[in-house]
Chains A and B, each alone.
Chain A
Amino acid sequence: MRVAKDLMAASATPIVLSILSDGESYGYAILKRVHEVSAGELEWTDGMLYPLLHRLARLGFVKAVWRSPEGRRRRYYTITDRGRQALGVHRRQWDLVSTVLNGIWSEMHSLAAPGVA
């Protein structure tokens, strides 16, 4: 499914932080995880993940370390306390938005969910 550009941009930070809150990871693995969870529906431009990760590192949300546990040298990212706090804020905001949308949509009896009709 095509997701609007703005929505992609807005959701990228909480998605990356959420994946990292599961444990440290590196760029390619993060993208693979997004691919898995969305069953291939959410397609990011691979390269754009890296400037985003660097921004999160500059803001102190993640820490970046070069390591090569499996032979290939990769930059591993770990979420920080500050990053967890930021993720909490993101989460409350997304919860609110989705509660509102679901509430409105469930009251619209006249309309079936798209794709069901």
Chain B
Amino acid sequence: MELDVLISEWRSYVSSHREVAADDVEELEAHLRDQVETLRSAGLADDEAFLVAVKRLGSLDALSREFAREHSERLWKQLIAAPEADESSGTDFKVMLGWAVAAAVIVQLPRLLSPNDLDAAWSFYVRNISLLVLPMIAGYFAWKRRMPWRHLIGPGLVFLAGLLFANAYPYARLGSTEILTGIHLPILLWLVFGIVYLGGRWQTGRMDFIRFTGEWFIYYVLIALGGGVLTGVTIELFAAIGVPADPFVSGWLLPSGAAGALLVAGWLVEAKQAVIENMAPVLTRVFTPLFAAMLIASLAAMLWTGHGIDQSRDVLILFDVLLVVVLGLLLYSISARDPLAEHGLSDVIQVVLVVSALVVDVLALTAILSRIADLGFTPNRTAGLGLNLVLLVNLAWSAWLSIGFLRNRRPFADLERWETSYIPVYAVWAALVVVVLPIVFGFA
């Protein structure tokens, strides 16, 4: 009886180390009980046996460090949980708020500086929106991680190069290449921001950045939903009073709120770790089968009707968006998965998702290629072709590795390593679209 009390006290002490997961505590407890039993049969009293057994387990600090090194997903938690002292999280919040206000103000500047030429302002925003807001979130994390200046030189140079290419090229106003730059520059800069976020751990920590991105996205969507309700109510309320609120809402509240929310979501991911941790894996579990079912249904419909993917531009863009979402889902569920766990139903569903996405990708690729064969290259088709090829390689090898994992041929870690080492390919592709594509197509 007394032994159980000792062990449960020990257990709650061990559990307070975040790096040691519940499963590990149970494993260690089984070990402790085995050891105590052996010692007792050698003639030791309960409490003596317990003390010896605990001592033989070794220093708990060293042990939890070792666990953290082995399980990077927990190391990440620890990295974030580090400033547990509440006074420091107070400053953290204030600094975040400062950067958020800066982001909210800076998105207003271009509009206010050229009040008469709406088209020019739009074209400026399309090219520069990521250059306006992403440095703010990067600045916040550079402060938070206490990054030395020399580590900021590389990312800073990429941001400067982005600024240069986005603004020095003589783009046709709101033409294809300008819009493509507007889509691809944020991707490139987000990945560069990842270097800052990880505070120099880019080689080992890419999975952590994927985790961050997924959770940041969830928080951002939640804030956007709440913000949508707020703005809707605001407009209606003031309309009822007889004061038109639309100009304020669309001019000030929406853009500045969207920019500031970027920072708030990033801060929330770090500050409210434990909350989202339970939510994000659940969301991926819910949506992985749904997306798999949707892809299979669309493939079945194509087979049934005999129509391939429609060659029209909107449809092709739709499919690209769909594939990117699937890839995000895949990446996030990989990052949230315990690499030690046995494969189960969710892994089978994941393979189904990847394989059906692969088939859709091949169909989209043939559609793009036949459109190119008929009508020649355009900026949009070239960008679509490139993206589909990059996705094809990623998905095909992912499918191969996941099937190998299901057949017990390879460990889950292989898949994880492949996904993380492929991330820079997206950055390179995005950079090519921003830098080379406009020149090739004469800034059309």
Known: A60-B411, A60-B413. A28 touches B34 (CB 8 A): yes
Contacts of B28 in A (CB 8 A): 47, 50
A80 and B408 contacting across the interface, CB-CB below 8 Å: yes
Bound CA span A64–B194, Å: 33
Q: Which residue of A lies closest to B72 (CB)?
A: A58
B69 proximal to A (CB < 8 A): yes
Bound CA span A26–B67, Å: 18
Q: Chain B's nearest CB lies how many Å from the CB of A86?
A: 12
Interface residues of A in 19-48 (CB under 8 A from B): 26-28, 45-48
Q: Which residue of B lies closest to A64 (CB)?
A: B340
A54 and B56 contacting across the interface, CB-CB below 8 Å: no
**Of A45, A55, A64, which is within 8 A of B70 by CB?**
A55
Known: A60-B414, A75-B27. A51 touches B70 (CB 8 A): yes
Contacts of B34 in A (CB 8 A): 28, 72
Q: Chain A's nearest CB lies how many Å from the CB of B362?
A: 30
Contacts of A28 in B (CB 8 A): 30-31, 34-35
Contacts of B31 in A (CB 8 A): 27-28, 46, 50
A54 and B30 contacting across the interface, CB-CB below 8 Å: no
Chain A: interface residue total (CB-CB under 8 A): 24
Bound CA span A57–B340, Å: 6
Bound CA span A28–B30, Å: 8
A59 proximal to B (CB < 8 A): yes
Known: A46-B35, A48-B58. A54 touches B71 (CB 8 A): yes
Contacts of A65 in B (CB 8 A): 342
Bound CA span A80–B34, Å: 26
**Of B24, B57, B411, which is within 8 A of A58 by CB?**
B411
**Of B27, B69, B408, B413, which is within 8 A of A74 by CB?**
B27
A2 proximal to B (CB < 8 A): no
Q: Chain A's nearest CB lies how many Å from the CB of B191?
A: 25
Bound CA span A73–B28, Å: 11
**Of A50, A60, A63, A82, which is within 8 A of B27 by CB?**
A50
B63 proximal to A (CB < 8 A): yes
B26 proximal to A (CB < 8 A): yes
Bound CA span A82–B408, Å: 10
Contacts of B339 in A (CB 8 A): 57-58
Q: Which residue of B lies closest to A28 (CB)?
A: B34
Q: Please provide the 5 A-B residue pairs with the shortest distance between their CB atoms, ordered closest to farther.
A: A60-B411, A45-B58, A47-B57, A28-B34, A51-B66
